[in-house]
Chains A and B, each alone.
Chain A
Amino acid sequence: MLDSTPAELDTGAAPLLRTVGLTKRYGSFLANEAIDIDVWPMQIHALLGENGAGKSTLVKAIYGLIQPSEGEMRWQGEKMVLSGPSEARSRGIGMVFQHFSLFDNLTVAENVALGLDGKESFKDMSARLEQVSRVYGLPLDPKREVWQLSVGERQRIEIVRALMQNPKFLILDEPTAVLTPQEADQLFVVLNRLKAEGRAILYISHKLEEVKRLCDTATILRGGRKVSTCNPKAETAASLARMMVGGEIKEVRAPANRRTTIPRLVVNDLSLEPDDPHSVRLRNISFELKGGEILGIAGVAGNGQDELFAALSGERLAQDPSTIVIDGHAAGHLSITQRRKLGAAFVPEERLGHGTVPRMKLSENALLTGHAASGMVLHGFVNTAATLKTVDRATETFDVRKAKRDPEAASLSGGNLQKFIVGREILRNPMVLVVSQPTWGVDAGAAAVIRQALLDLAAAGAALLVTSQDLDELAEITDRIAVMFHGHLSEPLPTADASREKLGLLMGGSTLGQKEAAHAVGA
C-alpha cells in the first residue's frame, strides 16, 4: 500500500472501493466530472442526486458497463480496470438495476441462471435460489414465467439474483420504489445483515427519510459533480434535498378551500375474471369518489392494481355497464375513448410503451390520448399545430425539460416524461383522473411538481384515484386510502387515521375488523 493516504493509515485499511477523479464524457457532455468517493466495508453508502445528476453513469462505471474517460477506480487499494460486468461480478461487485433486465418469456430460475457466471447445475442453482429467497424473506416461485409477475416480484428476482453471487459490494438502484413498508423494512434487515457480514452497499434512492434511516454515509451528486459527502443521520431531509437540487424544493401544499362536490367516479360491485390464468381476479370492488377528492390505493404490487386500472380505463370492458359510473353515466361497457369523452383521463404506471410510444415524438404522444376530445382531429385529419400546442403548454406549465421542441418520448428522462404525461392529461381538464404510480422512479423536484399538479386538479373539482406503492406520497396528497389485496379493495380509511401499521396489515391481507376483534378477546 505504497500510495496509502493518511486517512487510510488511520483506519488501518484501504476502502473497498475508491474512485479518483472519475470522469465520463459523452462527446462534449460531462456525465461525471472528477468524482472521488470512498466506500468502506461494513458501510451503507447512499448516492443521492436528481435524475441526470450522474448517479447511473457512476454506478455503470463501477459495474464495468462503461469505461471511464479519465480517472481510475481502486479496488481494495489496487487499481482496477473492468472489461465488463462479468469481471465486476467475479471481483464481488453486484448490482440491482432500477430497470429490470429480465426476459419475459423465461422463468424466474432461467433468468437467474442467465445472470450468473458459475458452473453449478440448473437444479442446484434452483435449489439455492429458493433457499436464498427464503432466507432473505423475498419469496419467489422459480418456475413462474416473468411476464406473469408484478413489478414488485420482478424486482425481487433482481435482488435475489445479486445476493446469490455473494457480493462484497452491492449496488442497489432505488430498490424500495415498489415495496410495501413492511417489505422495505425486511429489505433493510437484509441490508443491515449484509453490512454486518462485512460487505459494502452503494444505495441509490430518492427517499430521503429512508436514506437517513438506513445509510451511514451519503454522497450527493449534482450536474455530474460531487457536491458533498456527509453523514445523512446528521442532516435533515430538507438539507439533503437542498444539496441535491441546489436550492429550495417547493413544498407541496394542499389548497385550503378544497370542497367535495358530487360523485364523479362510482364503482359498484365490480368483479372481473382474469384474462390470463396468472393475472388477478377483481372481487366485488366498490367505492365512491367525489369531485374535489383524492382516493389513494395502496397495496403490494401484483394484487390487482393493474387489473383495476385496465377496468377503470376501459382497456378491458366490464360485463355490466352500471359497475362503473363516470360523472353519472354508466360506463362499464364503454371504450377508453368514450370514457375520455365523458371527461375521464388516465395515467398508467409504465411510461414507455404504455403511456407513450417511445419512438414517437411528444406531439404524436399528445395525440395518443388527445385524439378523442380536444380538436386535434378534424374529419379524420390530424391538426399538427394543435398537437404541438399541447406539447408547448405541457412544457411550460409543468416545466418539462427537453433538448428540442418536439423530441421522441424515449429521449426524455423519466421525471420529465412523467411530467409530460401527467401534464398532457391535466391540460384536458378531466373531471376524473385515474393515476397509477404518479412518481415512480422520478426525482424529487419532478415528483413535487406532479403531486402539486394532482392537488391543484382536485382543488379545481376533479375526482382523483391515485394508486401508489409510496405510502409517504399517499399520505401527502390523499384524503382517503384503501388497500388492494388479492383483487379485493378494502374500505377506505381517512388518511389522517391510516397509520403505516394499519395499512401494512391491510397490505398483508388481514382485515382491521379481525384485528380489533382479536384485541377485544385479548383484553
Chain B
Amino acid sequence: MQLVLEKRAERSNTIALISPLIAIGLTLVTMSILFAILGKNPISALGVYFIDPLTDSYSLQEIAVKATPLVMIAIGLSLCYLANAWNIGAEGQFLVGAVAGSWLAVKTQGTDAGPWVLPAMMLLAAIGGALYALIPAICKVRFGASEILTSLMLVYVADLLLDYLVRGPWRDPKGFNFPTTAEFDPVAAVPVLIEGGRLHLGGVIALVVVAAVAVLLGKTIKGFEIRVVGAAPRAARFGGFNSNQLILLTFAISGALAGLAGIIEVAGPVGHLQPGISPGYGFTAIIVAFLGRLNPVGILIAGLFLALTFIGGEQAQIAMKIPLDVTKVFQGILLFYVLACDSLILYRFKLIFASPKVSSGAH
C-alpha cells in the first residue's frame, strides 16, 4: 500500500477555502502536544489562547488594534507574492514609514500646526516605505539581485536607523535619557474611534485598504497583470505585460502600505517613536498573507486570527506562565501547515494498493 499525491484536473476551490482551516486544526493539535510537554493542561491553555480574548471588550478591541498593521502589511505583501516578487522586508518598510512620518511630528512638536499634520505624516510614511521598498526592487530589476536577501537585510538597516534617531537627534530632552521621542501632539496622533477605548482610525483605514485591493485584483486590468506575471511569466510577456514594471509597482504599493501601517502604529497605540514599536509585524504579516490565501478578505480574517494569538499569548504568559516565545512557535507551525495544506488544492491524496483487484482472465 502506498500513499501518493495525484494531480487534480482542475484546482479545487473547496480545498482552497478549507485548507487554512485544516492548517489551523493541525496547528492546534500540535500545540496541544507542545503544551502537554510543557506540563500544562492543553485544553485550558488553548482556552486561554483562543477563547478568553474573545470574551471581553478590552481584548476584542486590542485584537482589532493588533490586526490593523498585520492586515495592512499583508495586503501589500500579497500583491508582491501574487506577482512572484518576494518582499520579505516589510518589517523594514514599516520602520522607515514610522520614521518618515515621525519626522514631521517631531518637527512640528509644540507649534500648534493644525489638523493637516496627521494626513501629511501618513503621506510621508507611505512615500518613505515605498521608496525603501523600491531599493530591493530596483536592484532586482536592474542587476538581478535576489530581492529576498536584499529586502531582508534592509530590515536591519531600518532598525538601526530608528535606533540612532531616537537615541540621538530626536531624543526627548525631558525623557530621562530613555531612547524615545517626546509624546506626539494631539494633531499628530491617530484619533480613537470611541472615547476611552483603544480602537482607532487605523482600523477603518485597514478596511478601506482591503476593499481597494480587492477591487484592484478582481476588477482591474492592473490586478490581472499582477496575477498573470506571477502565474505564467511567459504568458505575461505574450500578453504585453511588463514584468519589471509590475515588480516595481507591487514593491512600491507594498512598501507604502507597510510604511502607512508603521506611522499609524506610532501615532496611534504607541504615541511616540521608540525602538521596539513592532513585535515583528512585518514578518508575521507574511504568515497572514499566506493564511489568507493572498486574498484580501482572507487576509482580513487571517490578520484577526494572528492578532488573537498575540493577545492570547500575552494572557497565557500572565495566567499560565507560558513563555511568550510559544506564540512565535505557534505562528511558525501555522505557516508550515498552511503551505503544506496548499498542495491539496492542486493535488489529492490517493492510496495505491500493491496488488489491485483484477478480474479473471479466463474466458
Contact = CB atoms under 8 A, between A and B. Distances in A.
Interface string B1-32: 00000000111000000000000000000000
A313 interface: yes
A395 B355 CA distance: 43
Contacts of B227: 360
B232 A315 contact: no
Given A353-B232, A360-B228, A83 B221 contact: no
A230 interface: no
B238 A354 contact: yes
Contacts of A336: 237-240
B11 A408 contact: yes
Contacts of B224: 364, 367, 371, 382
Contacts of A372: 240
A68 interface: yes
B221 A81 contact: no
B240 A340 contact: yes
B253 to A, nearest CB: 15
In this complex, the interface size class of chain B, counting residues with CB under 8 Å from chain A, is 20 to 34
Contact of A381 (B9, B221, B228, B359): B221
A35 B267 CA distance: 74
Contacts of A20: 361
A354 B238 CA distance: 7
B235 A381 contact: no
A411 B352 contact: no
Contacts of A335: 240
A488 to B, nearest CB: 25
A336 B241 CA distance: 9
B222 interface: yes
B354 interface: yes
Interface in A42-85: 67-72, 74, 79, 81, 83
A356 B235 contact: yes
Contacts of A70: 357-359
B321 interface: no
B107 interface: no
Contacts of B10: 407-408, 410-411
A425 to B, nearest CB: 11
B356 interface: yes
B220 interface: yes
Contacts of B228: 357, 360, 368
Contact of A359 (B11, B221, B354, B362): B11
A346 interface: yes
B239 to A, nearest CB: 4
Interface in B333-352: 352
A359 B231 contact: yes
Nearest to A79: B361
A354 B235 CA distance: 4
Interface in A327-371: 335-337, 340, 346, 348, 350, 353-360, 364, 367-369, 371
A340 B238 CA distance: 11
Interface string A75-105: 0000101010000000000000000000000
Nearest to B232: A357
The listed residue with most A CB atoms (<10 A of its CB), out of B9, B224, B354, is B224
Interface string B198-222: 0000000000000000000001111
Nearest to A358: B232
A368 B227 CA distance: 11
Nearest to B225: A371
B235 A21 contact: no
Contact of B222 (A69, A81, A380): A380
A179 B354 CA distance: 39
A410 B35 CA distance: 45
B220 A67 contact: no
Nearest to B229: A357
Nearest to A369: B239
Interface in A1-47: 3, 20-21
Interface string A392-403: 000000000000
Contact of B356 (A68, A354, A357, A367): A68
Contacts of A356: 232, 235
Contact of A71 (B238, B355, B359): B359
A377 interface: yes
The listed residue with most B CB atoms (<10 A of its CB), out of A83, A355, A382, is A382
B260 to A, nearest CB: 23
14 contacts: A67-B356, A79-B358, A81-B355, A336-B238, A336-B239, A336-B240, A350-B234, A353-B235, A354-B232, A368-B235, A371-B240, A380-B221, A382-B220, A408-B11
Interface of A: 3, 20-21, 67-72, 74, 79, 81, 83, 313-315, 335-337, 340, 346, 348, 350, 353-360, 364, 367-369, 371-372, 377, 380-382, 407-408, 410-411
> Nearest 6 pairs between A and B by C-beta?
A337-B240, A357-B232, A368-B239, A336-B240, A411-B10, A67-B356
Given A67-B352, A360-B228, A382-B220, 10 more contacts: A3-B361, A69-B356, A70-B358, A72-B358, A314-B240, A357-B231, A368-B235, A371-B221, A371-B224, A381-B219
